[in-house]
């Protein structure tokens, strides 16, 4: 395997769709004085406990009582005047939030705001029915800010804007994934065409180099590949904190190389500016050197600003697309048999780690979702013990960069909370992409006017739409491969069956013949698989 293949393999992880459906709302705080001032802050609340209005127009405002120096765990902490019709703000920690709420409600408070220094947790617990007070978390930093901006005599209310099920981000993800799969397949077909018609001017070393660029899977390597994926996922589950940095480094390297490969393939077609520079017996086109510097700069920029949620997703998606394109073009499936094994095994892998592992793990979370959502899930876990108060806000958790992510646009326009992201794992693009690329190369070899390629790409798009529909109905993350794999495999088999080319399609058509002659020329090994097939 070439270096690119190895790098890719290292962090070829399959993450499912996952979306954040936490209940977030807004705390609107106003001061009625001249001039009236208002400011909004992000809160989290539990929608099964409280229903919030969707706007603040008709909402009741309560006077804010700033008790942020106490945590309201004992009666001695209640001021003698009580909380008649007030919104009480207390610190998190020392006791369960429901004990605080009970104490606040007994003293006639209307709302309990809990200032958290540890991000915004989700309020949960065994709430009894007679506890009707509104309960919400607010960030401690926001409490300080509120005091600075609004001063004293603040009135507050809670509301939660409603959002449509469908968000533009889904459309963006759809376009990105179908574009990447289609272009990756097309590119793979182009390089196949070049291989089939070696131009006479090319010398032996050039051809050898070209062959090294691409890596062909055999059924055995496919199985090995899936085993490595499983091991990687388990390692990540247990050693997330450290391995996430390894993955980030590998992503930086691999995506910079991929971006370079993609862009240099484009640039080579531009006939201008081919001046060369030579150094130590090696010569390179100056523009390619510039391109390499540019790609390195892009990837370093991503690494530096990777936690800037508001805009970094654009860079991450560009690098991700380049990575997927390069992967689809470089790794070649030799025949449909290998495709079926790869897609089938990865489908099982996805389903196993999403749906079966919740029955095995201690906390009932699926390993896949834990790794994919890693950070937020983990911070909630530490919340179960209410013994210690976190001293200061913890650093934001690192997220795995192996997903295409797009912010949910309706949220970003309307809230101050962290924007929920729609995510699609690279695997959901690459795995079907390898099949599409095989279809395209089969088209090229059998000169069948792209029928396999086009129908397989359409099947992929249909599978994505199916994933969205099921996602919106079930409202939880979905392993997209569950829908993409059957769609693409069945469609391409159907086409092969209708065109009576199943045998050829299954065995890879003229591929082995070409492979063997080339191997004979290059004196390289002939894989046992290729012989067996014939
Ligand atoms: C607010 O109340 C007024 C009068 O009761 C009503 O006409 C209006 O529709 C309400 N607005 C909202 C957003 O509920
Ligand atoms: C709470 O309100 C009720 C009814 O208005 C009142 O009887 C009770 O004394 C109040 N409790 C406190 C602690 O103010
Ligand atoms: C709301 O509270 C219930 C328990 O009362 C809990 O099961 C549920 O997960 C909570 N919801 C959220 C969004 O945290
Ligand atoms: C929740 O509280 C009720 C009574 O308040 C109790 O019967 C029930 O067992 C509790 N559930 C859990 C999961 O603690
Ligand atoms: C609440 O009190 C803390 C200090 O106890 C202060 O820093 C903060 O600004 C106050 N916030 C509001 C909203 O009054």
State the CATH number of the domain containing residue 101: 3.50.30.30
- Are the beta carbons of 366 and 358 closer than 8 angstroms? yes
User: Is there a domain that residue 509 lies in?
Assistant: no
Output the CA 150–ligand 5 centroid distance in Å. Answer: 10
The domain in which residue 436 lies consists of: 3-19+167-270+284-499
Q: Mark whether 129 is an active-site residue.
A: no
Q: Cβ(47) to ligand 5 under 6 A?
A: no
Atom 1 in ligand 2: residue holding the nearest Cα = 108
Measured in whole angstroms, the distance separating CA 469 from the mean position of its chain's CA atoms is 19
Residues 234 and 93 in one domain: no
Q: Cβ(455) to ligand 3 under 6 A?
A: no
Distance CA 88, CA 79 (A): 11
Count Cβ atoms below 10 Å from residue 241 Cβ, excluding itself.
Answer: 11
Output the CA 58–ligand 1 centroid distance in Å. Answer: 6
Residues 329 and 245 in one domain: yes
User: Is there a domain that residue 530 lies in?
Assistant: no
Instruction: Reduce the DSSP state of residue 49 to 3 states and report it.
Output: coil
Residues of the chain with pLDDT under 50: 1-14, 16-22, 375-396, 511-534
Nearest to 531 by CA among 517, 521, 516: 516
Q: How far is CA 329 from CA 325, 332, 338, 434, 449, in A?
A: 6, 7, 16, 8, 20
Task: Please spell the DSSP secondary structure of 73-133, one letter per residue.
Answer: -SGGGS-TTTTTTEEEEEES-SS-HHHHHHHHHHTT-SEEEEEESSS-PPP-S---TT--S
Nearest to 327 by CA among 210, 464, 215, 172: 215
- 191 phi and psi angles, rounded to 5 deg: -70, -30
Output the CA 56–ligand 1 centroid distance in Å. Answer: 10
Residues 229 and 309 in one domain: yes
Distance CA 490, CA 495 (A): 9
Distance CA 286, CA 292 (A): 10
Instruction: Reduce the DSSP state of residue 371 to 3 states and report it.
Output: helix
Residues 8 and 110 in one domain: no
Closest atom of ligand 1 to CA, residue 58: 1
Distance CA 425, CA 18 (A): 9
| Ligand number, closest to the Cα atom of 56 | 1
DSSP class of residue 12 equals -
Pocket of ligand 1 (CB under 6 A): 55, 57-58
Task: Please spell the DSSP secondary structure of 456-520, one letter per residue.
Answer: HHHHHHHHHHHHHHHHHHH-S---THHHHHHHHHHHHHHHHHHTT-HHHHHHTTTHHHHHHHHHH
Point out which residues pair with 203 in neighbouring strands.
Answer: none
Q: Cβ(37) to ligand 5 under 6 A?
A: no
User: Is there a domain that residue 147 lies in?
Assistant: yes
Q: Residue 387: its pLDDT value, please?
A: 27
User: Is there a domain that residue 136 lies in?
Assistant: yes
- Are the beta carbons of 375 and 120 closer than 8 angstroms? no
Q: Cβ(393) to ligand 3 under 6 A?
A: no
Q: Mark whether 350 is an active-site residue.
A: yes
Residues 117 and 146 in one domain: yes
Residues 305 and 413 in one domain: yes
Q: Cβ(82) to ligand 2 under 6 A?
A: yes
Q: Residue 413: its pLDDT value, please?
A: 53
Q: Exposure of 392 by Cβ count < 10 A (0-12 exposed, 13-18 middle, 19+ buried)?
A: exposed
Residues 338 and 483 in one domain: yes
Q: Residue 384: its pLDDT value, please?
A: 29
Residues 141 and 177 in one domain: no
Last residue of a domain, one of 159, 193, 217: 159
Q: How far is CA 495 from CA 39, 118, 433, in A?
A: 60, 55, 17
Output the CA 136–ligand 4 centroid distance in Å. Answer: 22
Output the CA 454–ligand 3 centroid distance in Å. Answer: 46
User: Is there a domain that residue 67 lies in?
Assistant: yes
Residues 289 and 392 in one domain: yes
Last residue of a domain, one of 126, 141, 159: 159
Residues 315 and 446 in one domain: yes
User: Is there a domain that residue 459 lies in?
Assistant: yes
User: Is there a domain that residue 506 lies in?
Assistant: no
Peptide bond into 35 cis (omega under 30): yes
Residues 96 and 233 in one domain: no
| Ligand number, closest to the Cα atom of 125 | 3
Residues 97 and 238 in one domain: no
Residue to mutate, 82, 83, 85, 86, ligand 2, most ligand atoms under 8 Å from C-beta: 82
Q: Residue 460: its pLDDT value, please?
A: 93
Last residue of a domain, one of 159, 180, 196: 159
Q: Residue 167: its pLDDT value, please?
A: 74
Catalytic residue among 92, 118, 167, 428: 428
Q: Cβ(128) to ligand 4 under 6 A?
A: yes
Q: Cβ(39) to ligand 5 under 6 A?
A: no
User: Is there a domain that residue 526 lies in?
Assistant: no
Number of domains the chain is built from: 2
Q: Cβ(127) to ligand 3 under 6 A?
A: yes
Distance CA 432, CA 489 (A): 9
Q: Cβ(107) to ligand 2 under 6 A?
A: yes
Nearest to 332 by CA among 197, 187, 215, 452: 215
Instruction: Reduce the DSSP state of residue 57 to 3 states and report it.
Output: coil
Distance CA 200, CA 245 (A): 47
Strand 24-31 relative to strand 155-159, pairing: antiparallel
Output the CA 108–ligand 4 centroid distance in Å. Answer: 24
- Are the beta carbons of 117 and 94 closer than 8 angstroms? no
Q: Which residues contact 45 (CB under 8 A, 6 or more apart)?
A: 23, 24, 25, 52, 123, 134, 135, 136, 137, 158, 160
Q: Residue 61: its pLDDT value, please?
A: 85
Residues, the chain: 534
Q: Residue 241: its pLDDT value, please?
A: 78
Instruction: Reduce the DSSP state of residue 20 to 3 states and report it.
Output: coil
| Ligand number, closest to the Cα atom of 68 | 5
Q: Residue 182: its pLDDT value, please?
A: 94
């Amino acid at each position: 395997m070439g270096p690119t293949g190895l790098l890719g393999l290292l962090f070829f992880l399959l993450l499912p769709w996952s979306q954040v459906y936490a209940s977030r709302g807004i705390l609107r705080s106003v001061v009625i004085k001249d001039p009236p001032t208002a400011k909004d802050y992000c809160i989290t609340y539990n929608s099964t406990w409280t229903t919030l209005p969707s706007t603040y127009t008709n909402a009741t405002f309560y006077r804010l009582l700033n008790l942020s120096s106490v945590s309201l765990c004992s009666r001695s902490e209640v001021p003698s005047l009580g909380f008649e019709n007030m919104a009480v703000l207390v610190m998190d920690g020392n006791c369960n939030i429901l004990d605080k709420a009970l104490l606040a409600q007994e003293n006639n408070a209307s709302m309990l705001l809990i200032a958290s220094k540890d991000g915004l947790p989700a309020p949960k617990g065994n709430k009894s029915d007679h506890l009707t007070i509104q309960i919400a978390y607010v960030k401690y930093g926001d409490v300080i800010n509120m005091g600075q901006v609004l001063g004293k005599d603040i009135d507050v209310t809670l509301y939660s804007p409603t959002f449509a099920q469908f968000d533009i981000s889904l459309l963006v993800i759809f376009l990105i994934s179908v574009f990447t799969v289609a272009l990756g397949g097309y590119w793979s077909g182009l390089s196949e065409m070049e291989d089939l018609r070696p131009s006479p001017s090319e010398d032996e070393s050039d051809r050898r180099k070209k062959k090294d660029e691409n890596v062909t899977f055999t059924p055995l390597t496919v199985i090995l590949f899936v085993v490595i994926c499983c091991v990687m996922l388990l390692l990540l589950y247990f050693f997330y904190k450290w391995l996430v940095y390894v993955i980030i480094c590998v992503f930086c390297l691999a995506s910079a190389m991929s971006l370079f490969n993609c862009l240099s393939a484009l640039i080579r077609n531009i006939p201008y500016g081919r001046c060369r520079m030579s150094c130590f017996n090696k010569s390179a086109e100056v523009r390619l050197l510039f391109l390499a510097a540019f790609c390195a700069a892009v990837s370093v920029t991503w690494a530096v600003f990777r936690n800037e949620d508001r805009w970094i997703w654009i860079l991450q998606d560009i690098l991700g697309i380049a990575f997927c394109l390069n992967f689809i073009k470089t790794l070649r499936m030799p025949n449909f048999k290998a495709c079926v094994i790869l897609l089938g095994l990865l489908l099982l892998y996805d389903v196993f780690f999403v749906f079966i592992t919740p029955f095995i793990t201690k906390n009932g979370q699926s390993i896949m979702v834990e790794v994919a959502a890693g950070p937020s899930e983990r911070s909630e876990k530490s919340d179960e013990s209410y013994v210690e108060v976190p001293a200061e806000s913890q650093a934001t958790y690192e997220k795995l960069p192996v997903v295409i992510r797009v912010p949910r646009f309706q949220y970003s326009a309307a809230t101050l909370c962290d924007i929920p992201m729609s995510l699609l794992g690279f695997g959901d693009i690459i795995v079907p992409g390898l099949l599409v690329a095989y279809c395209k190369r089969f088209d090229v070899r059998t000169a069948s006017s792209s029928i396999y390629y086009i129908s397989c790409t359409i099947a992929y798009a249909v599978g994505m739409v199916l994933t969205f529909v099921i996602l919106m109905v079930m409202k939880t993350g979905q392993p997209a491969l569950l829908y993409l794999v059957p769609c693409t495999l069945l469609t391409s088999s159907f086409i092969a069956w209708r065109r009576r080319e199943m045998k050829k399609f299954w065995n890879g058509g003229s591929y082995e013949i070409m492979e063997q002659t080339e191997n004979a020329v290059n004196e390289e090994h002939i894989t046992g698989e290729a012989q067996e097939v014939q």
